[in-house]
Structure 1
Amino acid sequence: MPIWKDIEKKQFSPIYLLYGTEAFLINETKQKLIQSVLTEEEMDFNFSVYDLEEMPVETAIEEAETFPFMGEKKLVILHNPVFLTAERSKDKVDHNVKKLEEYLANPAPYTILVVAAPYEKLDERKKITKLLKKSAAVMEANKLNDKDLKIWLRGRAAANQVQIDEEALDHFLVIAGTDLMMLASELDKLSLYAQDEQRITVEVVDKLTARSLEQDIFALVDRVVTGKVEEAFRIYYDLLKLNEEPIKILAVIANQFRLIYQTKELARKGYGQQQMASFLKVHPFRVKLAAGQSRNFSDEQLAAIIMLLADSDLQMKTSGMAKPLIVEMFLFKLQSLMKKTG
């Protein structure tokens, strides 16, 4: 994140615009600013947060224009500026946006103003949006693609004074999923473990990383497809030991095969993986994994598997059969299908 490098060097912009749906990135950027701009002693006097769903923007601007008390800088953070979007305002308060426009033209040299907008898109037609984007250091915090996700993880590992092997990084993403908060927590744990060697290997990732249900299901499907049925059942029984409900396991398996089918169809229509992710509204890395798995299935196989899943779901909801057994039967049928048509 280029914006982070400048913050770490204490090269501050007077105005920041942080927008997008990846709340973890927005929060991390705010934390970096707080740690870099203010000392602990200055926090009580020179740090203010305004929720613009509760307070008018002009009140925050008055605060930004007030000289800091102790210290050279003050930090003012504005949350939820819905007036930057095309949504019809649901604000409980009226905002004098003209005051913000005037401030952007002449920001106080002693204040760092941060506008945190947790929205996928801003309304580019509005004057205030154009002015803000022109005046501010901008960070778009939306889902990271595969390349940017790896850059982010390598940077976090480096900040923890370790390096992560490329193979270990790929394995880590397969196991841990794509939720940034989970990834950060797991990577920090791996870094602590690897402090002596200063290197995170595949073995370390495999030994210590907590697996998400979706990633366990990905691994389970992968084992069936590659003929490692015993391993697939071991994963399934481990999930049952962890008190995962069979109906939930079946639903996640169905979601995985639905994604495999969708990526196969979209690839046939000429979509790239980034376009698929945007169209399907899933993380690019999940699309990459599903596209890889889709090469193992013919159209006929996928159609038959989706029918098997529908039948299993119906049994789960209407028959008196033990639910764990229904998932077992599906896995046996899946194995048989792969052998017949593989």
Structure 2
Amino acid sequence: MTAAALLNDLKSRKFKPVYLFHGEEPYYIDVFSDYIEANLLSEGEKGFNQTVLYGRDTDIITVLNAAKRFPMMSEYQLVLIKEAQDMKWGKETEDKKAGDPFLAYLERPLASTILVFCYKHGKFDKRKKTYKAIEKNGVVFESATIYDNKVPAWVEDFAREKAYRINPKASALIAEYLGNDLSKISNELEKLMLNIPKGNEITPEDVQNNIGISKEYNVFELQDALAKRDVLKANRIVGYFASNPKANPIQLVLGALNTWFTKILKYHYIADKSPQNLARELGVNPYFVKDYDQAAKAFNITRTFEIISFLREYDLKTKGVDSTGNTVEGDLLKELVFKILHV
């Protein structure tokens, strides 16, 4: 089940008796559990029918006792276990005679109890009988870490759901500078949207003004300078990066350049260079295809291979390998850009 389908079911009040939200990415775990906590019961029903427990302060017996209760003057009761990864889950027994009361409950859960486990920062063991019972009789949703190249599309979907449009360059800026932490991205977008009327397009300038990304000195402007062989602009940008290493860590810059040059290399090998096909094959918004056209003219296949080799070399140098004593990040970045443009 997709996140959108699950949220739609919750909004339609198509509830299951037990939910397990687990995975490395906490964003969706919070979205689903917060929605259930806020909307399953009315304010008047919550006093008698809502139980919120925290993993490190509870155990299976406590959860089981709460789940077995019946609601008072309500269709449902909610038993919500937050930080369930810290809970003492107990050992599953293979002894059928001894029985496992918790597993027995999960195999035949009460329809009037909505039991929710929020298991963060890791995957629940899918080999366990507990997992299989929840999967069979309820809903299991794994909130996996999103790949970096999928973040711009996620940002665009998030904006659309909030009744905004977002410029492709703006979504790419957000992805590049905030990474793939969806909670952080959503928080920054929510704050940004407070200053922009609904229905408007979020522009790169909006992102730069509200999320603290420099208008002139960012990795996209560096890529643009390299593609145009603009030595002065490229040196000015890396000089700014060197002076502001916390805002522009070399690992982030190297990662962005490596992704960019890898796509330039792929561009050279794509036979069908129509804009639609290039966008699909490179995994970019069609808005950026013209930038790859220009970059490919500046760096042929042989040169692109050489630059990717430089990037690997300087990545190792930032880690102290073959650095010949120079590990100052700003100096390494200046050396790298010099090689890209001149060697």
Q: Specify if TM > 0.5.
A: yes
Task: Indicate how the Cα distance of structure 1 residues 263 and 91 shifts in structure 2: closer, same or farther if over 3 A, else same.
Answer: farther
Corresponding position of 1:318: 325
Task: Indicate how the Cα distance of structure 1 residues 263 and 161 shifts in structure 2: closer, same or farther if over 3 A, else same.
Answer: closer
Corresponding position of 1:280: none
Residue 207 of structure 1, CA deviation: 4.2
Note the alpha carbon deviations across 1:15-57, whole angstroms, 9 max, x for none: 1121211111111211111111134455454333334455321
Corresponding position of 1:113: 115
Task: Indicate how the Cα distance of structure 1 residues 126 and 57 shifts in structure 2: closer, same or farther if over 3 A, else same.
Answer: same
Corresponding position of 1:332: 338
Count of aligned positions: 305
Alignment of 1:30-41 (within 5 A): 30-40=33-43
Q: Does 1:298 align with 2:298?
A: no
CA distance in 2, matches of 1:254, 1:199: 30
Q: Does 1:61 align with 2:95?
A: no
CA distance in 2, matches of 1:259, 1:167: 16
Corresponding position of 2:104: 102
Residue 101 of structure 1, CA deviation: 2.0
| Amino acid across the alignment from 1:328 | K
Note the alpha carbon deviations across 1:175-228, whole angstroms, 9 max, x for none: 54322122202222332222155333444345434449xx94465355334424
Task: Indicate how the Cα distance of structure 1 residues 123 and 323 shifts in structure 2: closer, same or farther if over 3 A, else same.
Answer: closer
TM-score normalized with structure 1 length: 0.68
CA distance in 2, matches of 1:328, 1:147: 26
Residue 5 of structure 1, CA deviation: 1.2
Gaps of 5+ in 2: 94-99, 268-282
Query: What is the RMSD computed on CA atoms of the aligned residues?
Result: 4.4
Note the alpha carbon deviations across 1:299-319, whole angstroms, 9 max, x for none: 333334544565686798836
CA distance in 2, matches of 1:333, 1:146: 27
Contact kept in structure 1, 2:23 and 2:119, CA below 8 Å: yes
Fraction of identical pairs, as percent: 22
Contact kept in structure 2, 1:176 and 1:209, CA below 8 Å: no
Residue 142 of structure 1, CA deviation: 0.3
Residue aligned with 1:328, SS: helix
CA distance in 2, matches of 1:300, 1:78: 53
Residue 110 of structure 1, CA deviation: 2.5
Corresponding position of 1:14: 17
Note the alpha carbon deviations across 1:273-296, whole angstroms, 9 max, x for none: xxxxxxxxxxx99xxx9xx79975
Instruction: Answer with 59-68 or 194-203: which moved more.
Output: 194-203
Residue aligned with 2:6, SS: helix
Residue 134 of structure 1, CA deviation: 1.1
Corresponding position of 2:194: 192
Residue 76 of structure 1, CA deviation: 1.3
CA distance in 2, matches of 1:164, 1:19: 30
Corresponding position of 2:136: 134
CA distance in 1, matches of 2:309, 2:38: 54
Task: Indicate how the Cα distance of structure 1 residues 19 and 37 shifts in structure 2: closer, same or farther if over 3 A, else same.
Answer: same
Out of 160, 163, 167, the residue aligned to residue 161 of structure 1 is 163
Task: Indicate how the Cα distance of structure 1 residues 101 and 208 shifts in structure 2: closer, same or farther if over 3 A, else same.
Answer: same
Residue aligned with 2:111, SS: coil
Corresponding position of 1:272: none
Residue 113 of structure 1, CA deviation: 0.7
CA distance in 1, matches of 2:188, 2:116: 29
Corresponding position of 2:27: 24
Contact kept in structure 2, 1:186 and 1:209, CA below 8 Å: yes
Contact kept in structure 1, 2:82 and 2:119, CA below 8 Å: yes
| Amino acid across the alignment from 2:81 | L
Residue 145 of structure 1, CA deviation: 5.0
CA distance in 2, matches of 1:314, 1:148: 31
Corresponding position of 2:270: none
CA distance in 2, matches of 1:230, 1:43: 64
Contact kept in structure 2, 1:186 and 1:210, CA below 8 Å: no
Task: Indicate how the Cα distance of structure 1 residues 235 and 6 shifts in structure 2: closer, same or farther if over 3 A, else same.
Answer: farther
Instruction: Answer with 64-73 or 134-143: which moved more.
Output: 64-73
Residue aligned with 1:318, SS: coil
Contact kept in structure 2, 1:315 and 1:326, CA below 8 Å: no
Contact kept in structure 2, 1:316 and 1:323, CA below 8 Å: no
CA distance in 2, matches of 1:194, 1:120: 36
CA distance in 1, matches of 2:341, 2:134: 57
